[in-house]
Each structure stands twice: as C-alpha cells, then as structure tokens.
Structure 1
Amino acid sequence: MQTTYTFTYFKDFARYLLNNHLPALARYYYQLLCKANAPLLSAVAHLSEEQQIAIARASIEDFLQRVQQNTALEGAQQVLDQWRQNQHQHFRRESIVTSDIVLTISARRKLYRQHLHLYTTDLQEGIRIMEDYDGFLTLLNQRTFEVYQEVQQEVLRRERNLFESVISNSVDGIIAFDKDLRILALNKVLEEHNGVKEADVVGKKIFEVFPGYEESEEGKSFLKVLKGEQIYLQNRPFRRKKGFYDVHTIPLFSSRGELQGGLSVVHDISLRKEQEDALRLKQQELQQQKDELTATVEELRASNEELEKTRRQLQELNARLEERVHQRTEQLEYQRQWLYKLFMQVPGLIGIVSGKEGSVVLYNEAFSRLWGGRQVLGLPMREAWPELEGQGYFEILDEVLSSGKTISLREFPGQIDRHNNGQLHQAYFNFTYSPYMNPSGETEGVILYGVDVTEQVEARRQTEQSEEKLSMALEAGQMGIWDYDPKTDTSTNSLLFHQLYGYDSPSLAWSFADYLNHIHPEHRSLVEKEFAKGLKKGSMAFEARILQRDGNSSWAAIMGKVYYNEQKEPIRIVGIMTDISERKRAEEELQQSHQELQRTNTDLDNFIYTASHDLRSPIVNLEGLISMLQRNLAQQLEAQNGQLLNMMTTSISRLKRTIDGLTDITRIQKEDEQRELLSIDQILQEVKQDVAGLLEESGARLETELQVPSLEFAPHNLRSILYNLLSNAIKYRKPDVPLVIRIQTYRHENHIVLSVEDNGLGINAANQKKLFSMFKRFHSHVRGSGIGLYLVKRIIENAGGRVEAQSQEGQGSRFCVYFPA
C-alpha cells in the first residue's frame, strides 16, 4: 500500500496559498461546507463560527505544510486511522460515514480550483496543478474505502457473536473449523447432506473427512478464509442429491482481532433459482431504462466540459463505492436472515433489549405468544409491558445494565396480560438476564433467556399461604415493603425499603414524621395530602422525590392499602415503594429529543428554501437557451429533434412549478403574515378570477352556502387554500358528468369550517392515507406538481387547525378545513 505521495506542480501553488491567502481559504472552505450541509459540521456545532473557521484554518494549514514535506498522504492516513479507531478529537465514528469524507474532499478540490486564478492565468499550468492534486485524491479515496471495509468487518464480527447462542438450530448447513482446518462443529443439516455424524468427525481435519474437497472450489475457499478473506460461492451442485446451494465461508476472529478459524454456511437454493432468474431478467430491463435515462442526462450536461469531466469522475467513484457497499450489504443481510430464522424457532423465551431504557430490538415467536402477539418492537420495556411496572423485572434489568453482571431468576412471579385483552394472569418464569457488550467493553444491552414455569409452580404452591406468596414476590421484585400503624405511629419496613433510602441495614421503627423527614421538601405537602386522602378512600398511589442518607435525592413510586377495624377506623397501612428515577430521567430525555426534532425540521425548511432559490436562476437560463435554440434552428430541425426540444421545454416548466411549490412551503414557515378579518366571499371571487379559464373550460357549476361570512386569517394563506382546493376539484373531474362544486362555511365546536365538495373522480381508500404527502399524485392524466394539498395541510396546521378529507372513488371528494375560531 502506497503511504507517501510526492507533489510536483501543486507544491509551489500550495506554498503561495500558505503565504498569501490562508485566512481567506479557511473562511471560503467553511462556507462551502455550510452550503453543502456537510455532516462534519454537526460535530462542532456547539462552537462559534469563528472557532469553527479556526479549526478549518488549522486543517488547511497542516495540509499545505505537509504538501511541502511530501507527508500529506501520511497525515490523511492518520486522520482515517483515528476515525476508524473512534479516537478523533472532534468526530465520533458513528456520526461520520465514507460519503461524508468524500464530500469534504470534493469541497477541498473546489476550494483550490477557485483560487487557482490568483496564482496563474496559464490554462495548461492550471491543468497540471489540478491533475497533480487529483492524483493525491485518487490514493486518498482508495484508502478511505479500505478503512470503511475494516469498520464493516468489525460490525460483522459483533453481530455474529450476538447470535452465537442459537446457531445450533440453523435450518442451513453449518460447519465450524479452527485455523488448522480441524472440525469444531457440524450441525444436523450437514450430517444429512454428507452422510456423517458430528461425533465421528469433530477434531479431524476437513480434507481427511472429505478427501475429494481439497481441489474443489469449496476446499480452496477454506484456505482463503484462513488468510482473512470472505468467500461466497453461488449455484454449487449438491454431491449426494439433486439441487443447488450457496455457501458463505467467513473467518472467525477473537476479541483482539486474531484469526481463530472459520465458519461455513450452506443454504439450499434449489427452489429459489427459478424465481431468481425471473428477477434477474426484470433487473436487466430496469437497468436498461436507467441507462437510457442516464444518457439523456449526459446530453443535457454536455455544455460544460470541465464540470462534466469532474462529475464523471465522481460518478464513477460513487458507483464503485455503491457497488462494493451493496455487495457487502447483501452478504450481511443474508447472514442476518438465516440467523433470524434460527432465533425465531427456539422453543424457549428469548428477547433482546438495548440502551438504558431497555428498548425491545428483537424477540422470538415463543416470546411473542407469551404476550398474545403484542407488537412491541422498538418500544421501551416499560411501555411495551406496562403491567410489569413495580414487579421487579425492570429493576433487575436496570441492575444488569449498570453492573454488567448476569442475573438468573428461578420461578420469578409476574402479573402478565397473556391474551392482550387487559386481563392480567399470574405467571412464573425461570429467567436469565445476560448483558452483551460493545467492542469497547461497555454494556450495550441485555439478552433475556426464559422458560414459562407457571403450571409447575402453581401445582406445587397450592397449599402455601397467599400472604407468603405476596411477600416473596415483592422481595424478589426489588420493591421495598412498608407497614405503618396509624394508632401507635410506628412502622416496620423491609431491608430493601431502607436500602432505597441509602441505609445498609434496617433502622429503628419509623414514625410518620420520620417518613416526612426523608421526603424532599418540595413534595412533603403532597405526601401529607395523599396520606390523608388514602385514609379516607382506602388506598393510595403517588410519586415523590425522597431523600437518601447521604443527602442525594431520587424518585419513588409509593402505593399502599388501608385496613380498617369494625368501627371503620384505620388500623394498618401496608404498601410498597419502588425506585423510578430511571423512568423520570427517560421522560426528561424524551422531552429533549422532541425539542431536537423541532430544530431539525426548522433546518430542513431552511435547506428547501435555499435549494429552491439557488435552482431558479439556472433553470430560467436553461429555458432561455432552449427557446433561443428553437428559434434559431426552426427551419433546420427534423421533426424528431423538434419534438425532443418540446419535451425538454415541458420538463423545465414542470420543474419550475415544483420549485414554486417548494418556495410556497418554506414561505409558510418563514413568513409571519399579519392576520386580518377577511370576507370569505371576496377572497372566493378573487380565486374564481384566477381560475376563470379552468371554470369556463370545465363548465363547472359553483354552489355556495356561507353561514360564516368572515374569519380572521392571513389573506395570502386563505387565498392559497381556496385556490388549491378549487383548482383540484376542477382538474380531477369526470369527463362525462357535469361538474358541480359546493363551497360551504359553518361553525363546529371551537372551529370555523370551510368545506369544498365535488362530484369528480374521487380517490380510493388505499391512497387516502397518502393524500396530503408531498409530490403525491393519483391521476396521471392531469398535470400538476403534487404539492397543493400538502401546502394546504401545512398552512392550516401552522395556524393551529387541521384538514380532513372524505372521498369515494368514482363518486367525488369533500375537503373540510378547520380554522381556530
């Protein structure tokens, strides 16, 4: 691998920039990254603009100095290695992908090209300087992809280790071997394929057991895998039966990255080949259409030779990167699929949760049946199975996540909703909470292995007292128990109750005043009120902050039941207390995430506004050039070429309408129009003038019933709503039925409703869910950008209202806009 690059022509240019234009280079480079919305900037977004420019300057200055020393490639390699090892001082590895680095490199090239005229006006010299720099970029892009491959290899090892515990139930054939080609494991599928038993071949070398394989492609793949390669053989014929298979052989590494051996997976594809052939033919047709479209685009861009050359180079590089990434993604997806099938078929209960909240990322069919088929994928455990709150399962999960240690439970009780109908049933489980680690050795999540032992436990515990059951379940669930006597003002509490307050052992019996002294001052009045209410109604349940022995505070959920004597006087209150600090922190984090999402939406609107504004000028120029070409060559063009120019003019007009729609969308967010008391009929008359041609052409009859004659709203926005609804009603009419459009206003609860109803084509039920999406059109014979209804929805929702649609295909549509009264 080449580690150095010697610059020839670029070196003097670099020295000139370093000595004369470094501050201007840094600021322009920063502007290029901002304009391209480079993800690299998000890593330093907390810094001021001047601090970010200072970082850009240091980076450019270091590069130009290294050019003088011929160490630029070595410096870039160091940055890539820091990124790969997740040790870069500014950027985390998971926040930056290879395309982000390529984008930054492209910005650097544009930076130097824009300043080249300051150094020389000789075109040939300028070309030599940029070709010298492009030679460096070629080597850097190549190394960037190599580093990306290494990162992907690390991810593959991590996923393989996660599913290792269920590999023995694979429906595919699997053989594992060490670095000396000795067989470590052979599952039942390969036993049947090869007519051998695992017990007879484990420990023997592969080529001793299968002597005919040594010169075969499969045998050669074993040797290549021991050199660190991944081998994927397709469409291989079976030796002992008819059919074909794919075999994927991969190296196995230790946690330190040392080669330990390999794993070969054999997948029967006999029944799939015919479908693959049909799919391949369809892909060829799609590729041909894509090639034709690409050729058309290339003809339109031929006017700028230098830009075209640069675009082709970037396109070729991106194509190679995309192809390699696509191949690697297919391999990873294949392994995920067969590991997922194995996982789902395991008869025991298996689930995987991740993160501090214990979000459910995977569970097998047995686990799903336990909860009545409840769909909980992606939900935090407390939201997925709320009935488990306070039963100890979540507390144990928190402990495993924090300590990184495995916890096993036997006959652990739980009230669960087995049929997902709101009815709770008592159940018992043998569960093991096993943490799994990320490559840095940190606990990332927990694997839950379990067996439902409810029938066995209930059969054995029929003679046990119900109070003993409750006591054991609460104690195993890590919930503190408290028992208070209001007559004597004394209490007896469990050890865990005191541990929640930071005590190592039970202290003396607490009075009610002792309880209050351990409640945060902000919540003491709340606790007094809840206890007073509980004594009257017979139960209590509330949340409060408690004070621990060391002065720190935490959140607790407190529940209790009141027992009375014959005179209906309270004589005993028994309850439980659970630490809910993690849940409270999760709620705060969720609020922060919501605020971040709002900021992201604002940034997206700004991007759309800038992009539509920047595209407008070149589109107008291109339209003028085509119009000039049509006039100048009107007598010389053949009919076919003239038709092509007309098609181009139509496409440009469609693009201009789309840009206008995008500008309207962003205007809704950016503008703060002053509301006025508007006459709805006056606005309607103005809109009718705007669509007068469409009304005359369609012969439409308008019926109005304005029970509410006026409303307070922004004039431009009300006009836009009426225009889009009325023009849509006209455009999507039925050609053989006279068009009738009915416009009404009326009051409904706290809203003024504007209704536009027609007897047009209507929309089927399947498409109604996507009715207000951007660029969605459901009738191809009508021209339009697909932005109108989306614009209506954005306008009214920004004003605090809503829009609803009722439609039946072939009968017509009705749109109701609800304005806040």
Structure 2
Amino acid sequence: MPPPPTPDFRQLFEKSPDAYLVVAPDADFPIIAVSDAYLRATQTTREGILGRPLFEVFPDNPTDANATGARNLRASLERALATRAPDTMAVQKYDIRRPEAEGGGFEERYWSPVNTPVLSAEGEVRYLLHRVKDVTDFIHLSRHRDAEREHLATLQSRNVEMAGKLMRQGQELQSTHEERRKAVRERDASLTLASEAREETARQREWLHTVFMQAPTGIAIFQGPRHTIKLANPQVCRLWGRRPEQVLGKPLFEALPEAVGQGFEELLNGVLATGKPYVGRELPARLARLDGGRLEDVYFDFVYEPLRDAQGRVEAVIAVASDVTERVRSRQRKEALAEERLRAAQERLRLATEALELGTWEMDVTTGALVWDGRMRLLFGLPADAPVDYPLFLSRIHPEERERVDRLVQQALAPGGTGAFSADYRIIPLAGAEERWVYSQGSTHADASGRPIRFLGTVLDITERKRTADELTRSAAILQAILQAIPDALYVGDATGIKLANAPALEMLGFASLEELNQNIATLGERLRNQSIEDGHRLTPEEEPFMRASHGQAVTQEVRSRHLLSGRDVVVRCAAAPVRIGDDILGAVAVNTDITERKRIEEELRQTAQFRERLLGIVSHDLRNPLNAILLSVNALMHSECAVPRHLKAARRIALSAERMERMVSDLLDFTRGRLGGGIPISSRPANLRSLCQQVQEELEVGHPQRDLRLSIRGERFQGVWDADRLVQLLGNLGKNALDYSPGDSPVDFVLRDEGARVCVEVHNAGPPIPADLLPHIFEPFRRATDQGHPTSGLGLGLFIVQQIARAHGGRVEVRSSAAEGTTFTVWLPRSAPGS
C-alpha cells in the first residue's frame, strides 16, 4: 500500500473553524499567519494583513475615547511572551474597522481572547497564537435582556396606571352602559398586551438560558445575600466537581462547603454591596472534586459581574470562570526546577572551590567591610573571629606589591572602570613562615544606576607554581632560546620522558607545555598509533622514528599521520638520532618538519589545469544550457494566451527558482575563475559609482518592498573607469547580505564617499554581530556569518566574489562588526581599475 499523504498543516490551520492569528514575538507583533475564520470575523483579507504589525491592522476605534482593547491585548501578549504560558483575557470591547465598500468606520465588537506562546525545542518563544471568540451577540443579548426587563417593568407600571384610570372612568360613567362596555374592552386590551409582553420575555429568557448552558466557559448566577445558585451551566458544574441537581437552588457555600473560609464569600458580598465587578486571575481554591470527596488544590481565572433589577439594584452576581490549574502548575514546576538547579550549581561551586583550595572574599564597596572565608584567613594569617576591612587587607600585602594592587582595585571600582580585578602578589608571611605568592581575581556588581556596590572574587596560593617557574627559567633560558630559534619541531628525551621541546614540537605533538607533555607521556604512543609511511603501512609504536633512535638507530623517514592538536592529516619528515656518551645511549633527539603544504602544492599543481578546464566546462555548458531552456519555456508559458492563473503562479515559481539557480551557477563560475584562474576578469569603461549605487538600491527595493534602504552621498566626484556590471554585482551581494542578516524593521544604509584619489562605499546593517571566531574567515568561499535563523539559499560565495571583484579593480574590502554598532562592509576603489 502507498504511504498516506502528508497533511497540509497550513491548509488545516487556515480552514480551522476557530478564529486564529499567529504573530511573531517582536515589538510590533507582525502577523505571519491567519485562519479563514479570523478573516471572516474581522472582515479582512489575508493579503491585506500578512506581514503588517498587529496594532497597525487592528487599532483602537478613534471615535471611542474609552477604548482600551489594543492596550489590553498588547499587555496580554507581553505576559505570554514573558511567562511562556497561555494568557486568557477577560471579555474585551475591541471595535473592528468596517470595509469601505460597506460604509467604512468602525463596528462595535466584543471578544474572548486567549494568547498562547509556541515554544522551540530550547524553550524559546517562536510564535504567539492568538485565538478569539466573537461574543458580540452574547453581550448584545445581555443588554437586550436588561432592556426587555426595563420594558416589562414599564409595561407593568403602565398597566397599573391604566387599571386605575379605568376604575376611575368606570365610577364616573356608571350611568352610561355603553361607556362601561368600552372601559371593559380597553382593560381587556391592556391585559392582553401585558400577557404578550410576558410571553415575549419568557421566550427571551429561555433563549438566553440556552446560550448560557451551551457556553464553552463556566457560567453561574448567585442570587441574594446567601448566594443561592439560580443557574449553573454544565461547564461550571465540571469545574466544581458536582452534578447540576446537587447545586441548583442551594446556597453556594452549602453546595460547596469546602469553599467556606477561602475568601470567595467576601468577594461576592463586595460585588453585591458595591455593584463593582471583580476580576480574579489564578486564584487558588480547594475543592472536593476527586474520588471519595478528597480535596484538590486548583486555580481559576474568573469574573464576578453584578446583575441588576429593573430599578438598578444589585440582586445577583454572574460568575464566569475557567480552570487554569494546569497552567499554574506548569509554571510552578518550572520555577521549582530552576530553584533546584540553582541550589545544585551553588553546591558544585562550593565543592569546586574546596577542591581547588580557593579562598573567597566579598567587599561592601560603600563601607569597605570585607567578608573572608576560612581559606582566605589561613592564607593571610588571621583568626576566624577577627574583623576584616580594606586597610587591613592592604597591610597584609608585601610593600613592593601594595601600591600596584591598590591601583588595580581602584580601577575596577571606578565609575566607568573595568569592573574586573586580576593580580598576583606577595603577602607578608607569618612569623617563621616562608614568603607566599597568591593570585587573586574579582569582579564588581552594580546597582540600577551603574554604581558598584559589591566586589567579590577568589584567591589561589601559587607559591609552588612561582618557585617552579623561576627554577625552570634559570636552568633552561639559554637552551630554550636555541630551541625556539629552530623553525622545525625539535625535542630531546629519554626513557623517563621529554626533557626539551621547542614551540613547534609542542604544537605538533598537541600539548600546551612541556610539563603537560610529560604528564601524558604514557598515552602519547596511543595518540601516535595512526602514523603510516608512503606505501600505506601503519607504523607500530616500535617502528616510530623517535623510538627507533632511542634504541640506537638513526632514522630519516616521511610519515603520514593526523596532527594531534588540529586533527588535520599531515606529512612529516622525521629525522631522529640517538644521543650517546661513549657506548651508552642516553636518549634520542628528533627533528620533525611538516612538509604537508609542499606535498599538497605538488599534487595541486599537477591537477589544477585539468580540474579547472573540466569544472568550467561543466558549469558554463552542462548546467547553463538546461537552465536557459527552462527559462525560455517558462517565459513562453507565462506569455501564452491559454495560460490560466494557477499555471502562471507555478510558472513564476519555476522562473524564480531557475533564475536563482542561474545566479548560483554564475557565482560558481566566478569562484572558479577567482580561485583557479588567477582572478575574476573585468572589462573597464567610464562609469559613475553614484548611479551604480542608486541602481542597486532600486533593484533591492523591488525585491524587498517592506525594507528601508537608505543611500547617503558625501562628496561630488564619483566618476571613474571600472567594470560597471561587476561593481553592480559587488554592491548587490553586499546589499542582499545586509538584508538577510538584519531584522526586518531595521534599515540598511549605503554610504558613498569621495576620498580624492579613491572612492569608498560602506554597507551597514544593525543585525547581530558576526562571531569573533568567524570574522577573519568571512571572505573565504562557502563561509557564512551564521547558518542559524537566516533563510539563505546560496552557496556561501557572495563575499568571496565581493573580495575578488574589489581586488580585480585594485581595491580592497574590509568588515567590522560588533553588538553595539552592527556590521559594516567597506569597499575602497581607486579611480581607475588596473590596466584601464
């Protein structure tokens, strides 16, 4: 059987019967998806709202001075974004703009919204899902009910008045039988009218009761001072854990005795007494909803709304409630987990501090008081109960170190200073003790105004490290100078370890220091296991040249292995010889020369010409011919008289894909020419760089109409002799790169400057900075600033081609990038390209 078709989730979302809107978690909440039900409810079109800020599409009614819908919705979205949990809003009045075809203006609407964050696997908010229910009819029905009640009361009052009037007329007209019959007829008519009004009111009541009972949220009506339950729909009965027959007609706190003393009675009494509604969010309650009547801790969002009689007196309270227990418990679990992680981190820090024998200190910057742990007091020779302050600390530092340490501390504490402290210094020894060296580092913590208030850090005893370093420095200074002057890797050793090694040797063997190398000497053979000679034979540890020399045999051999530090495959020429005194072998000396590059160049020179010709032929002929055929066919289809709209849409998509592929093929050709053919060829002629910048700006604006592209001109002379097409390609690549790697609401700036003998173009964007480790490699082929969060579809050759075009014109391109300034690419061009 064939596999089931993959569902089209976007179509399922758009055809959902509920009204949904998806916005991005940005400051303006741009709209990125919408269901058909939402479009119908708001009388909008998908084309008219997608990509636009939410509150630009749905502003408050400008004619309603009391409108708060937009403000309340923004606050709810920000809460959902901050808490990463759904946020349910109370019923909101939020008028909707009426289409111009229907008269324009705004139409009164009421909504019940819920805003839900959609999280990534890392727990970050990717989208916000806005679901609403149009409750306008429900609100209007409630108002209609109140109006009907007032109308009924008016009719009843009029009936009483009419009855009295008829009685007076009957007494005055007793002598006239016909007039008495007329009075009777008028009375009967009045009574009939009252009966019809009562029937209509009963029908309205029955319809409203049906709406209440079918509502998706819990609704109940509590009447009188005992809060008798006059209405409870199925949803609220489920929230209470009761059946309707268990609660209807009973006082609330008799039906739910466990709710007594939890504050709900005071809230209901307050609404009855003041007539002011009460809105509660995530209020806790204990209800007997579990098996056996066991109490359960739950949380509710609810509204207590006063219900008034015909005279405006509060006779009951309407309660609308929803269960948010799971949302609250989820947040509580996250908070508990965060606290547990914090406690675990603090315990790990304590254990690490003890294991490293670190002393810790903390300083109150405002008073100068210090707090030292036991290790600090031991190092500085202070008893456990002795008070400590900054002057005492300075007094325990060796006089030759004191001024320097104090200066570094003050620099760290100065406003606008470094905020960090790091120093090694001597401390005055206790009586009879030897001099001690310590290393201390710390950092400041500031208040809201930026003023340092706390200064804390650690101290480590480095006496032994200092002594060892001094001894090694004195004993090996001359020999180390000789070793370091040798460019090849040289090391000397015996059966106990490596005695001498220069920097190239340490780097080749994969160690930071001679000490580290000797600490791992036992595993060095294991790490060298993958060495082999030219014919592919893998060397055993005994066949390794240094080991053979240690046994008395001089060896010179080319070895292929994996570089232990970088992990790259290398070819090394190993020359090893034994160190002898008489007939005794004391050890061995080895000189290793990395000849990988030489070998690579030899092989590359042999293959370059053949590879270049094959690659250029494939790219220029075998790839471009099918693309040209596709573009010609698609253009013919798009201009065909028999093409239908849905075919045209598909044809445009094919055309765009083919054009993108053609650009990629062109980039690949330029890369091949630049890397293998000695540079990108140019054809220079007189051109105006200002016109070229304006052309690129216009082309980019066509493809990105929603983005802000700005061109600044500084100077007058921008005429030169260049390849105009190549410069358009250069500027276009930089512009597209700036658009791809910057926020949609930030501008992209082109700055053109006249600098005399040369001109300069800067392309700036305010996006995230290029990582510092990638910045030196940004112009290498197949490199990007980052592969995350940017829907790029090229080969990663754009900036490489930019650099090649600049060099072909005798110019250069540079980049600077930081979080504070954004990213700026700068291109310098001489007035005339070489050879023009």
TM-score, with normalisation over the residues of structure 2? 0.28
Q: Which has the higher strand share?
A: 2
TM-score normalised by length of structure 1: 0.28
Q: Whose helix fraction is larger, Structure 1's or Structure 2's?
A: 1
> Which structure's relative contact order is higher, taking Cα pairs within 8 Å and 6+ residues apart?
1
